């Protein structure tokens, strides 16, 4: 559906800038997850420290986007699709900021894990992080295009991530039962997996807000089949 | 036909309206619900003020106009030959954009209408006080009732005009941009008044101020080029309208 432009080009630009900033913030969080995972799989603590440092930029961006949204609410009194977009943007930036924090959590666990011998080869965790990065990308893509199908795809992927998390949990249990010396490292790896699973929840939250933005229908607390 | 919940007081049935050859309203069918505030919105020339004036036969006063279709007020067609338009205008009062008090005392502004209409008011003082209280003006003018209404501020004059309309004991109040000439404080007072009045009256208001429509109305009707495009709960219109044209208008994507 072709969107008509606002009579006020400044308003049009302000809305576009918020969209651009959300995309940029999304890219920052994806990069943070990638680096955090790389620091784990390549046992490179420098990368983990970079993730922790770079989180300031994510926090700054989040504050900036929220301020811009509040300014539009106060000065432009948006209605209908614009109102739904602004409320969605405020929620999305909150989700992305939390995703950044979780990348930091992963980096912190990576630093600890890198100080001990590797417990096991990382196979499922990189698969999981690949899925969650795709979810974030798709969720933001859905926002830009107002694409409900892509938003639905994000929700579907969340289930796959949940399943991987369960699987990793069970596998780590066996390691812990085998040898109590494995417990500490197993718990750290479990933290990583849990954080990825929660990132997927946030990506799903973004997709749910996109559905609200497009249809006006709140699907966040829809019972799952 | 758009139907809202609640008891209807005015019903339009396939109404067309012409200024000479020019059709200003096309096939309007809608119902206005009793004790609700309905806002009519749309760009200039969309027909919303014309519609307002059709509802109490004010357009009769303009030469070369023609109405087709039926408009029922409490079940009776107000354009039927045996209907007295003056009587209709008593029951369906009107407040205009610019405050237009009579160049008389505050008291006489209120009493003039009922006297002229021969309402046979036994206690005029009570009616004047009642009307001014309803318009939330009493406390400000109770000691200056014999002063000229022209000395009041714009906001006070507009509330006096509302009091004057209420003195005729109407069922419906039509308001044509009643706050567009007022400052924000007077506007807020009128808006507060409108919300209080809907307990006893049905209010239909034309406004160019979209936020005002959003703030005070229960239902909103969007008109464009003489057509009723969308008519729905105000909350629905301003958060998720059904029609693209409505959305373009209320979000500022027009022209």
Q: What pLDDT does A13 receive?
A: 93
Closest CA to A18 of A88, A79, A77, A74: A88
In whole angstroms, what is the distance from residue A63 CA to residue B85 CA? 61
CA angle B118, B53, B4 (to 5 degrees): 105
Interface test with B, best of A1, A75, A79 (most B CBs within 10 A): A79
DSSP 8-state assignment for residue A6: P
Does A6 sit within 8 Å of B252, measured CB to CB?
Answer: yes
Contacts of A79 in chain B (CB under 8 A): 210, 214, 238-239, 250-251
3-state secondary structure of A7: coil
Q: Which two tokens stand for residue B168?
A: 């005729």
All structural domains of chain A with their residue ranges: 9-215
Which residue among A82, A215, A216 sits closest to B251, beta carbon to beta carbon? A82
Q: Is the CB of B146 inside 8 Å of chain A's CB atoms?
A: no
Mean local confidence (pLDDT), B45-59: 93
- B245 close to B224: Cβ distance less than 8 angstroms: yes
Q: Determine the straight-line distance between the first and last CA of chain A, rounded to whole angstroms.
A: 31
Does B240 sit within 8 Å of A216, measured CB to CB?
Answer: yes
Q: What pLDDT does A20 receive?
A: 96
In whole angstroms, what is the distance from residue B220 CA to residue B228 CA? 11
In whole angstroms, what is the distance from residue B217 CA to residue A203 CA? 38
C-alpha distance from residue B159 to each of A83, B52, B101, B105 (Å)? 33, 20, 10, 15
Does A84 sit within 8 Å of B253, measured CB to CB?
Answer: no
- B146 close to B106: Cβ distance less than 8 angstroms: yes
Q: What number of C-beta contacts closer than 8 Å exist between A and B?
A: 41
All structural domains of chain B with their residue ranges: 8-100+171-250
What is the domain class of A9-215 according to CATH?
Answer: mainly alpha
* CA contacts within 13 A on the Cβ side of A156: 7
Q: What pLDDT does A28 receive?
A: 97
Mean local confidence (pLDDT), A72-101: 96
Mean local confidence (pLDDT), A184-208: 97
Q: In what helix (H) or strand (E) does residue B232 lie, and over which residues does it extend?
A: strand B227-233
Mean pLDDT, chain B, whole residue set: 93
Which residue among B211, B239, B254 sits closest to A80, beta carbon to beta carbon? B239
Does B253 sit within 8 Å of A5, measured CB to CB?
Answer: yes
* Chain A residue nearest residue B215, CA to CA: A77
Q: What pLDDT does B182 receive?
A: 87
Q: Is the CB of B210 inside 8 Å of chain A's CB atoms?
A: yes
Contacts of B214 in chain A (CB under 8 A): 79
Does A79 sit within 8 Å of B239, measured CB to CB?
Answer: yes
Q: CATH homologous superfamily for B8-100+171-250?
A: P-loop containing nucleotide triphosphate hydrolases (3.40.50.300)
Q: What pLDDT does A67 receive?
A: 97
Q: What pLDDT does A31 receive?
A: 97
Q: What pLDDT does B60 receive?
A: 87
Contacts of B250 in chain A (CB under 8 A): 79-80
Note the pLDDT tens digit of each residue in B60-96.
Answer: 888 899 999 999 999 999 999 999 999 999 999 999 9
Does B251 sit within 8 Å of A80, measured CB to CB?
Answer: yes
* Prediction pTM value: 0.85
In whole angstroms, what is the distance from residue A49 CA to residue A62 CA? 21
Note the pLDDT tens digit of each residue in B161-208.
Answer: 999 999 999 999 999 999 998 889 989 999 999 999 999 999 999 999
Q: Is the pLDDT of residue A1 over 60?
A: no
Does A8 sit within 8 Å of B251, measured CB to CB?
Answer: no
Does B210 sit within 8 Å of A79, measured CB to CB?
Answer: yes
Contacts of B211 in chain A (CB under 8 A): 77
* Chain B residue nearest residue A85, CA to CA: B239
Q: What pLDDT does A5 receive?
A: 87
Q: Could you tell me the pLDDT band of residue B119, with boundaries at 50, 70 and 90? A: confident
Q: Is the pLDDT of residue B4 over 90?
A: no
Q: What pLDDT does B40 receive?
A: 98
Place of tokens 């196979």: A123
Q: Is the pLDDT of residue A221 over 90?
A: no
Does B238 sit within 8 Å of A82, measured CB to CB?
Answer: no
Q: Are strands B22-33 and B8-19 parallel, antiparallel or unpaired?
A: antiparallel
Which residue among B211, B237, B248 sits closest to A77, beta carbon to beta carbon? B211
Q: What pLDDT does A110 receive?
A: 98
Which residue among A79, A215, A216 sits closest to B251, beta carbon to beta carbon? A79
Interface test with B, best of A80, A85, A212, A216 (most B CBs within 10 A): A80
Q: Is the CB of B211 inside 8 Å of chain A's CB atoms?
A: yes
Q: In what helix (H) or strand (E) does residue B92 lie, and over which residues does it extend?
A: strand B92-95
Mean local confidence (pLDDT), B120-135: 92
Burial of B245 (0-12, 13-18, 19+ CB in 10 A): middle
User: Which residues make Cβ contacts (< 8 Å) with residue A67, sequence separation at least 6?
Assistant: none
Q: Is the pLDDT of residue A223 over 80?
A: no
Note the pLDDT tens digit of each residue in A53-62.
Answer: 999 999 999 9
Q: Is the pLDDT of residue B2 over 70?
A: no
Residue ranges of chain A whose CB lies within 8 Å of a chain B CB: 3-8, 11, 77-84, 215-216
Mean local confidence (pLDDT), B114-143: 92
Does A79 sit within 8 Å of B250, measured CB to CB?
Answer: yes
Q: What pLDDT does A225 receive?
A: 54
Q: Determine the straight-line distance between the first and last CA of chain B, rounded to whole angstroms.
A: 28
Q: Is the pLDDT of residue B118 over 90?
A: no
Closest CA to A15 of A144, A140, A139, A138: A144
Is the ipTM above a cut-off of 0.85? no
Q: What is the DSSP string of B16-80?
A: EEEETTEEEEEEEEEEEETT-EEEEE-STTSSHHHHHHHTTTGGGGSTTEEEEEEEEETTEETTS
Q: Is the pLDDT of residue A86 over 70?
A: yes
Phi and psi dihedrals of B107, rounded to 5? Answer: -55, -50
C-alpha distance from residue A49 to each of A38, A106, B97 (Å)? 12, 11, 66
Mean pLDDT, chain A, whole residue set: 95
Contacts of A6 in chain B (CB under 8 A): 251-253
């Amino acid at each position: 559906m072709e969107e008509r432009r606002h009579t006020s080009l400044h308003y049009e630009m302000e809305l576009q800038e918020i969209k651009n900033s959300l995309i940029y913030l999304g890219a920052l969080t994806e990069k943070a997850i990638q680096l955090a995972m790389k620091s784990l799989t390549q046992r490179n603590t420098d990368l983990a420290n970079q993730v922790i440092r770079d989180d300031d930029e994510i926090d700054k961006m989040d504050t900036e986007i929220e301020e811009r949204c509040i300014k539009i609410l106060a000065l432009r009194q948006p209605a209908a699709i614009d109102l739904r977009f602004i409320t969605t943007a405020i929620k999305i930036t909150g989700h992305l900021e939390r995703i950044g924090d979780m990348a930091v959590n992963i980096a912190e666990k990576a630093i600890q894990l890198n100080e001990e011998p590797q417990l096991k080869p990382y196979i499922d965790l990189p698969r999981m992080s690949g899925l969650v990065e795709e979810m974030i990308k798709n969720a933001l893509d859905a926002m830009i295009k107002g694409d409900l199908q892509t938003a639905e795809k994000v929700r579907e992927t969340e289930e796959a991530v949940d399943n991987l998390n369960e699987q990793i949990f069970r596998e780590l249990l066996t390691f812990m039962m085998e040898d109590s010396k494995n417990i500490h490292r197993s718990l750290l790896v479990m933290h990583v997996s849990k954080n990825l699973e929660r990132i997927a929840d946030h990506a799903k939250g973004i997709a749910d807000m996109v559905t609200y933005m497009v249809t006006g229908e709140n699907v966040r607390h829809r019972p799952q089949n | 036909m758009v139907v809202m919940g609640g008891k209807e007081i005015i019903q339009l049935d396939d109404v067309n309206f012409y200024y000479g050859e020019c059709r200003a309203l096309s096939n309007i069918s809608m119902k206005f619900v009793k004790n609700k505030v309905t806002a009519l919105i749309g760009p200039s020339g969309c027909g919303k003020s014309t519609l307002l004036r059709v509802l109490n036969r004010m357009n009769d006063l303009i030469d070369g106009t023609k109405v087709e279709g039926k408009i029922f007020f409490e079940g009776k067609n107000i354009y039927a030959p045996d209907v007295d338009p003056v009587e209709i205008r008593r029951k369906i009062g009107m407040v205009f954009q610019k405050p237009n008090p009579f160049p008389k005392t505050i008291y006489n502004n209120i009493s003039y209408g009922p006297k002229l209409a021969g309402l046979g008011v036994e206690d005029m003082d009570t009616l004047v006080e009642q009307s001014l209280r309803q318009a939330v003006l009493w406390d400000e003018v109770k000691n200056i009732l014999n002063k000229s209404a022209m000395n009041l501020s714009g906001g006070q004059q507009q509330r006096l005009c509302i009091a004057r309309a209420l003195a005729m004991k109407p069922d419906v109040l039509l308001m044509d941009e009643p706050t567009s000439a007022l400052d924000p404080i007077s506007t807020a007072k009128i808006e507060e008044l409108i919300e209080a009045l809907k307990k006893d009256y049905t209010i239909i208001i034309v406004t160019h101020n979209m936020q005002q429509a959003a703030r005070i109305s229960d239902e909103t009707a969007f008109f464009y080029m003489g057509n009723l495009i969308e008519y729905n709960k105000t909350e629905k219109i301003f958060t998720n309208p059904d029609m693209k044209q409505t959305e373009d208008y209320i979000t500022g994507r027009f022209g």
